[in-house]
Each structure stands twice: as structure tokens, then as C-alpha cells.
Amino acid sequence: MTKEEAFDVLDAIQEFYPSVKMGERKIRAFIPQLLRMDYEGVMHNLSAHVGSNQYAPTLTEIAAYPVEPNMHLEEMRAWQEKAAKVPEETKRAFEEALRKLVEKCHAD
């Protein structure tokens, strides 16, 4: 979330809950927390909160964090791309060598 979006979240909370006072101390505490969150998710959660609660939300009630990429899946995709470029004869030779190695291990 950008700083402007974080201020937009705080403005929205004040609009929906006029009794909430956003003083400088509260803003300084909230902005760094909001910057780590996902704007669209926070606004969605705020909208849901407004629809069912007469009291202003806490940050934890409307928090939404960006989805972290699964690096293991990215690594697997990269391996699959590399494997797709390996010639079929190389793959067959590897499979044959692996089969022989497995047979040898079972024979010992």
C-alpha cells in the first residue's frame, strides 16, 4: 500500500465513524502498519466491517496482507522449463543410466 492509500484508509474510517479522532500520534502509529498491507484487501475488510459493526474497527479487524509468492513453485516452474529444453535422447540416456543404477543397488 502506498502512503496516499494509507491516508485514504484513515479518511474512510473517519467518514464512516465520525466519532473517531485521527490525531497525529494515531496516524504515526497506523501509517507504518498500513504500508505493509494490501490496500484493496483492507478496503474490502473495512467495507464488510462497516456493514455489520457500529463501532470503528481496529487495524487487526481490517488487516489484509499481500500474498507472498511461493518460491518453491517458482523454482519448480523454472526446473520444468529447463527440462522441457532437454533433448529426448538425453532424457532416455539418463533414464537408462538411472535404471541400471537402481538394478545394481538392488543386486548388492
Q: How far apart are CA 90 and CA 78, in angstroms?
A: 19
**What sign results for the dihedral spanned by CA atoms 72, 74, 80, 82?**
negative
Query: In whole numbers, what is the pLDDT of the chain averaged over residues?
Result: 93
**Topology classification of domain 3-62:** Helicase, Ruva Protein; domain 3 (1.10.8)
Cα 74 to chain center, whole Å?
14
Predicted confidence (pLDDT) at residue 72 exceeds the cutoff of 80: yes
Range list of H helices, 17-107:
24-35, 39-52, 59-62, 71-84, 88-107
Convert the pLDDT of each residue in 36-67 to its tens digit. 999 999 999 999 999 999 999 999 999 999 98
Q: What is the pLDDT of residue 26?
A: 94
pTM of the full structure: 0.64
In the chain, where are the structural domains located? 3-62, 71-107
When computed from its CA atoms, the radius of gyration of the chain, rounded to whole angstroms, is 27
Q: Which residue would you say has higher pLDDT here, 108 or 31?
A: 31
